[in-house]
Structure formats: structure tokens, C-alpha cells
């Protein structure tokens, strides 16, 4: 079957790239011809920019934290190409995409591919702040007379409450009820779908958990990424002093060296003279960080997922702004809620040195994987 995947734009977010890769790879293994719709990355919406600015003002003037500047820099297309040079290479070499679709208003260009099914997901495709053209992520561009399967796989609202306006809710509800099958990534999303979209939904795994770790190891070996033994993998999306304090506490207790696979500096905080320090490291270097880590500290959902994939002890720092329900839903299934913390005081010796029963955990993941794959098979049958 020819399948088009509609997900968040492929950019520099490692988790976003790998969930797209994993869903495409899974469907390809199942025998389908799959492409991810190539929507361009857009600069942050006005609402998100306002939130960033407000956050920086609070951090600088109320919390007295170090903030280099209030207004973020915006890169040009040429600068963005430099910043994303390694992640763009990963996309070229490992992800099959459509032609570039300039905006969601031009999604009708996909007719040339004669897709027999569209799959929306995963990641926070149903969170308005991340998907300004939200009706498109409910396939509003697919006409009623088109014989195309409409499927959502592990679609995420990101949070456990409803963020749609009344007008957007009415529009998306009509579109959702045209879907052949809907699955969501968080348990809380089942009730949100029922209450606000009038649709039943199935709880499934994030696509990255559908693949065995050997799939990711193969990517690393292909790129010949050097190992980082005896390391503490630190993957923090929103830098803050308290998060570094947590990492330092683990580093000291275990005698490990911190390995942070992120740009040395963020472009929005720097000027163009530091552009080379704003380049995102290769995706495979990021994966290697989890492969070699003795311990993982992260505030990222997918950072947490890859710690689990590679059977590493970890601490997940709750990231309310980016969506806490993603963490709590996954960790509840795996009975690892104690690994989700919010303050330095919660980092105890027992938490750092405590073992995770990955034998039991891997069996649970296998069961959930089989159920998730069964959903996909049934939906596209």
C-alpha cells in the first residue's frame, strides 16, 4: 500500500526525526511504500515567541537567573541550513519524503503520489501551539470522494487537557469522525478524543518503541560514530541551573563524565559570529550517547524513551511546558513513575543507584509493541 505520513516538520529535534524514521521503517518492514510529507520547518509562532519572551523575563528579573537576551535571534534560511547540516543529512540518507510542500495550504499537491492511506502521527501533531494549520493534521485536504484510509497513529495532544478553541474543536470533530482508526500516545488522550472529538481511540506505543534497538545500532555503525564509555548522557531541551544541579549530583555520585550531545550554543541566544557552535551534532552521535551511557538524565520525552530502549538507568525531569502527560503516561505503563522528578531534592542515592528490572520491562514493551503493531495491521487492512 502507498502510505503518506503527516507529522511535525522534520528539523533538528532528534526525537521528532527518529519517531518519523521509526514509523516509516516499521511500515516499510510490513511491506508498504511509505513517504513522509515534507512540510518545511517554520519559525516559532507569535504565541510561542511571546511565551519564550515572557519566560525569559521571569527567569531574568524574578528568578535572577542568567539570561543573555530577552528577544531571540531568528536565523536566515542559509544559517538554518548550516545549523541543521547533520540532521538534514540524516533525513536525506534515512527518510523517504515527498517533494517539499511549501505550506499546509498546498497539501493538495500530494494527489500526484496516489496515496492509498494517510497516517497522522506521531509526536504532538494535535497540539495547536505546535501545529498552527491544525485542520490539516485531521486531513481536511482529503476529499470525501477519495478512497483513502484515514488513520492516526500515536497522535499526541501533549497535555492532559483540551487546548483547542471552540471553533477549532467543531471543525476537527467533524474531520476526526471521518477517520477509519485513531490511536493516541497518551492514556489521557483517549478521554479527550471521546469528549471533544466524539471518537474512540486506542492507546499505543510511540513509534520509536516499535523497533528493536538493533535498528538504531545499525545507524550508528553505518556512520562509524566513536564510543563514549563511562559517560552520563545529559539531554536537556530547556537549559536551567536546577537541571544542571541534578546532573552534577548524579555525576559526582557515580563518578561519570557528562556527555551532552547538543549544540554548544543556541542560535536564538547568540549572534552570527558563533554560528559554528550552534550546529546540531549528528543524529547517530545522539543515539550513541544512549548506547554508551552508564546513566541518563533528561527532560525530553524521547530522551526518556531511548534510555529505556537501551536499558539504561535514568532520571526524567518533568517538563511541564512541553507536555508532562507524555512522560507520566509511558512511565505509568512501565511502572517507573518514581523515575520522573521535578526538583533536586528528589534525587536520592536510592534513585541513582537503584536497579531497573529491564527483564520484566522488556517483556512488557514486547507485549505493548505487539498490540500496537496489531492496531496498524488492522487499520491499513
pLDDT per residue over 76-103, tens digit each? 888 889 999 999 999 999 999 999 999 9
Residue 262 pLDDT level (bands cut at 50, 70, 90): very high
98 grid coordinates: 515527498
Class of domain 2-48+74-209+367-380: alpha beta
Residue 282 in 3-state DSSP?
coil
Q: Do domains 2-48+74-209+367-380 and 225-365 have the same CATH topology?
A: yes
Domain ranges of the chain: 2-48+74-209+367-380, 225-365
pLDDT per residue over 41-55, tens digit each? 665 545 555 665 666
pLDDT per residue over 139-154, tens digit each? 999 999 999 999 999 9
CB proximity list for 134: less than 8 A, separation 6 or greater: 126, 128, 164, 168, 172
User: Cα separation of 172 and 139, whole Å?
Assistant: 9
Residue 282 pLDDT level (bands cut at 50, 70, 90): very high
pLDDT of residue 149: 98
Burial of 360 (0-12, 13-18, 19+ CB in 10 A): exposed
pLDDT per residue over 115-134, tens digit each? 999 999 988 999 998 888 99
Q: How many CB atoms lie within 10 A of CB 234?
A: 25
Residue with cell 497522522: 120
- Whether the predicted pLDDT of 67 surpasses 60: no
pLDDT of residue 47: 52
Is the model more confident about 26 or about 46?
26
* Cβ atoms 340, 318 nearer than 8 A: yes
CB proximity list for 87: less than 8 A, separation 6 or greater: 10, 11, 12, 14, 17, 280, 282, 283
CATH architecture of 225-365: 3-Layer(aba) Sandwich (3.40)
Amino acid at each position: 500500500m502507498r502510505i503518506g505520513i503527516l507529522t511535525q516538520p522534520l528539523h533538528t529535534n532528534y526525537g521528532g526525526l527518529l519517531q518519523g524514521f521509526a514509523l516509516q521503517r516499521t511500515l516499510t518492514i510490513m511491506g508498504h511504500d511509505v513517504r513522509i510529507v515534507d512540510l518545511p520547518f517554520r519559525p516559532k509562532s507569535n504565541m510561542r515567541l511571546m511565551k519564550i519572551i515572557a519566560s525569559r523575563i521571569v527567569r531574568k528579573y524574578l528568578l535572577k537567573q542568567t539570561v543573555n537576551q530577552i528577544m531571540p535571534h531568528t536565523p536566515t534560511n542559509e544559517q538554518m541550513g548550516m545549523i541543521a547540516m547533520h540532521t538534514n543529512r540524516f533525513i536525506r540518507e534515512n527518510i523517504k519524503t515527498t517533494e517539499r510542500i511549501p505550506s499546509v495550504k498546498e497539501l493538495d499537491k500530494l494527489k500526484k503520489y496516489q496515496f492509498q492511506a494517510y497516517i497522522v502521527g506521531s509526536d504532538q501533531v494535535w497540539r495547536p501551539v505546535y501545529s498552527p494549520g491544525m485542520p490539516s493534521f485531521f486531513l481536511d485536504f482529503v476529499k470525501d470522494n477519495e478512497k483513502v484510509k484515514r488513520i492516526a497513529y500515536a497522535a499526541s495532544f501533549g497535555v492532559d487537557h483540551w487546548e483547542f478553541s471552540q471553533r477549532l474543536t467543531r471543525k476537527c470533530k467533524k474531520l476526526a469522525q471521518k477517520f477509519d482508526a485513531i490511536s493516541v500516545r497518551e492514556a489521557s488522550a483517549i478521554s479527550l478524543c471521546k469528549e471533544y472529538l466524539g471518537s474512540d481511540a486506542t492507546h499505543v506505543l510511540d513509534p520509536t518503541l516499535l523497533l528493536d534497538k538493533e535498528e538504531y545500532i545499525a545507524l550508528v555503525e553505518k556512520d562509524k560514530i566513536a564510543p563514549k564509555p563511562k559517560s552520563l548522557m545529559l539531554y536537556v531541551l530547556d537549559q536551567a541551573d536546577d537541571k544542571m544541579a541534578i546532573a552534577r549530583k548524579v555525576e559526582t555520585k557515580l563518578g561519570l563524565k557528562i556527555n551532552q550531545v547538543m549544540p554548544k550554543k543556541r542560535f536564538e541566544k547568540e549572534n552570527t559570529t558563533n554560528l559554528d557552535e550552534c550546529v546540531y551534532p549528528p543524529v547517530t552521535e545522539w543515539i550513541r550517547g544512549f548506547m554508551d551511557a552508564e546513566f541518563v538524565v533528561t527532560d525530553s520525552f524521547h530522551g526518556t524513551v531511548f534510555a529505556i530502549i537501551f536499558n539504561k538507568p535514568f532520571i526524567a525531569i518533568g517538563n511541564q511546558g512541553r507536555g508532562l502527560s507524555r512522560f507520566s503516561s509511558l512511565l505509568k505503563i512501565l511502572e517507573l513513575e518514581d523515575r520522573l522528578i521535578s526538583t533536586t531534592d528528589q534525587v536520592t542515592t536510592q534513585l541513582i543507584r537503584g536497579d531497573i528490572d529491564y527483564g520484566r520491562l522488556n517483556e512488557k514493551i514486547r507485549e505493548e509493541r505487539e498490540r500496537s503493531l496489531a492496531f496498524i495491521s488492522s487499520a491499513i487492512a
